[in-house]
Amino acid sequence: MVLLLYLCSMFDSQIGLREKKHAQTKIHILTETLKQMREKNFDEINVKDICNQIPVSEVTFYNYFPRKSDLILYFLHLYTVSATHHVENKLLEETGLQAIEELFNYTADEIRKHPNVIAEVIVFLARHKEKLCFTELSEAERQLVFPENTEIVEDKTHIFLDDFLMQKLGNAIKKGQLPANTNMKTALYGITSIFYGIPLILEKKNPAQIKNMYNQHLKLLWRGLRND
């Protein structure tokens, strides 16, 4: 599970020592950052404090993450891989609206376990005007973050969340769950507004209600798209 990062000592024997150490240090840096984000906003976290806790030098930190904001991008990458794999693995037959709903349920559970992180992701995405670019995870990174999911370790593909949602919308139209004339871009805007907006409103006030509000607003969106 991507948001509950922990280090696993069991590596594939074919992975070299240098790659193992590189992955361990990178994950340590992110794990320490997420730990500090329980008490502070991302902008308040000092790189020097992160480095002192691990410990690594600031030069080493910037070798892994040239900009501090790259930590958010890396977290977002790991979340996307984990969440989409969870949906595909749990719903082998259902590929339409139910898959989108399961993605939201998974996300709501993760937000409750790790408050404050999603709000920082939203702020990052609002500021980040360029198209996101993920660097493919190494085998060592995959085995550290997803030690129990060999499919993730072996899967060389990674997909952006918007691409995943568009794919599921297309499947929903093919299955007759949404009308054939559904404007997929408009539908995507509606989905992502719910995805980011609900946690932003409720994360600090009442995070336990996020899953329920997700489900209610998705049902309203599906109804609106069918009646449009």
Q: CA dist 205 to 108, 119, 191, 214, 224, Å? A: 14, 13, 22, 15, 28
pLDDT digits (tens, 9 = 90+) for 25-72: 999 999 999 999 888 889 999 999 999 999 999 999 999 999 998 999
Name the percent of the chain lying above pLDDT 70: 87
Find where tokens 């037959």 sit. Answer: 93
List helix spans (H) across the chain. 17-36, 47-53, 58-64, 70-90, 97-113, 117-127, 139-145, 150-154, 161-174, 184-202, 210-227
Find where tokens 């539908």 sit. Answer: 187
The pTM score is 0.83
Burial of 109 (0-12, 13-18, 19+ CB in 10 A): middle
Position 129 scores a pLDDT of 65
Check pLDDT > 50 for residue 6: no
Domains of the chain by start residue, with CATH: 17-227 (1.10.357.10)
* Cα gap 99→89, rounded to integer Å: 10
CB of 116 within 8 A of CB of 41? yes
The angle subtended at Cα 32 by Cα 26 and Cα 35, nearest 5°, is 140
CB of 134 within 8 A of CB of 14? no
